[in-house]
Amino acid sequence: MAISGFFGRSNLVRLKVLIEFPREIYANHPVTCRVTLRNNRRMLPVFLLRVTIQKNEILFPYIETQSSSTRHLTLTFAQRGVCVIPKIFASSVFPFTFFVRSKALDQGPRVIVFPEPKKCRTLNHFEKIALFRGEQSSDRMGYDGEILSIRQYLPGDPLKYISWKATARTGDLKTKEMSSLSYQPVIIDFDAIEIRDLEERISCVTHTFIKLIKRNAPVGLKINGKVIQPGTSSTHKIAVLRELALYGIQQQS
C-alpha cells in the first residue's frame, strides 16, 4: 500500500497543462481545442492520467520524462462574452485501480466567445447594398468577375472555370482566370436595427457581418457610440466580433 501511494501521488506532480483555442469561438458552436500535457519530471513517466476540463475527460496513457503529449477536445460555450475555463483537474488510478487520486493542476485560460451567428431577414438590405450596388471588377484574381486571362489548369481549380474552347484548341486543360469583384463599403448601425431582443439583434448582426466578410465586402460597425470603419482583413473581423461579443457585458480583467 505504501508503494502504491508513493507512485500514485508521484503520478500527479510536476505536470503542466496548456489549452490552445482557435481564433474564432462562437457561442453554441462546438470548437476543437488542443490540450497539451507536459511531464516536467526527470525520473518518472506519466501513466494512465486523466485530465478533466469542463466535465470532459482526456486520457493520456503514457508520457515520457521531460516530454509532452497533445490530445484534442471539443468544447461548446453557451453564451457570448468573456469565459474563464474553470480549474483543470488531473486524476490517476496508477499503479492500481483501487484508489483514484485527483489534483487541481492549473486555472484554465480566459477566452472571448463570439455571438452565435443567426440568419434573419431584417438585415438583408445591408447584404444587398454591399453585394449588388456598385459592383466593380478589380484586377485581383477571383471567381466572380470578368475573364482576365487563360492559363494552364492547376489541380484544385473548379471545373466550371475550365475553358473548353482553349482546351480543345491546345489539347491541354486550360482554366479561365477571373477577376474578383469589389463591393461598396457599408457600415451596420447596430442601434438603428429594429430588433427588440438584444441577443437576437447581436446574433443577426454577427451573421450578416460574417457573410459580407466572406464575400470580401468591406463592412464596418457603428455600436455604443463607436464607429469601426469598413474593412475586410482578419484583424478587422476579430475586432468587430469582439465588440459584439462584449456589448452590454462588463469586461473582466
> Which cell is 233 given?
482583413
Indicate whether 128 and 198 sit together in one domain. Answer: yes
Residue 168 belongs to domain spanning: 124-246
Structural domain tally of the chain?
2
Q: How far apart are CA 224 and CA 49, in angstroms?
A: 47
**Looking at 88, 113, 138, which one is the last position of a domain?**
113
Angle at alpha carbon of residue 162, lines to 156 and 163, rounded to 5°: 155
CA atoms within 13 A on the CB side of 167: 10
- Residue 167 inside a domain? The answer is yes
Burial 32-64 (b: 16+ CB within 10 A, else e): ebebebbbebeeeebbebebbbeeeebebeebe
Q: Is the pTM of this model over 0.75?
A: no
pLDDT tens-digit profile, the chain (253 residues):
444 444 456 778 889 999 999 999 999 999 999 999 999 999 889 988 999 998 899 999 999 999 999 999 999 999 999 998 888 888 886 554 555 677 777 777 899 999 999 988 766 655 555 544 434 434 444 445 456 678 787 776 677 778 888 888 888 888 877 655 567 788 899 988 888 899 999 999 999 999 888 888 889 999 988 999 999 899 999 999 999 999 998 644 3
Report pLDDT for 137: 39
171 φ/ψ sector (left φ>0, alpha ψ -120 to 50, else beta) = left
**Where do runs of H (alpha helix) occur along 101-231?**
124-132, 164-170, 198-214
Collapsed DSSP state (helix, strand, coil) of residue 197:
coil
Report pLDDT for 104: 76
Indicate whether 58 and 86 sit together in one domain. Answer: yes
Neighbour-count burial of 78, counting CB atoms closer than 10 A to its CB (0-12 exposed, 13-18 middle, 19+ buried): exposed
Indicate whether 76 and 163 sit together in one domain. Answer: no
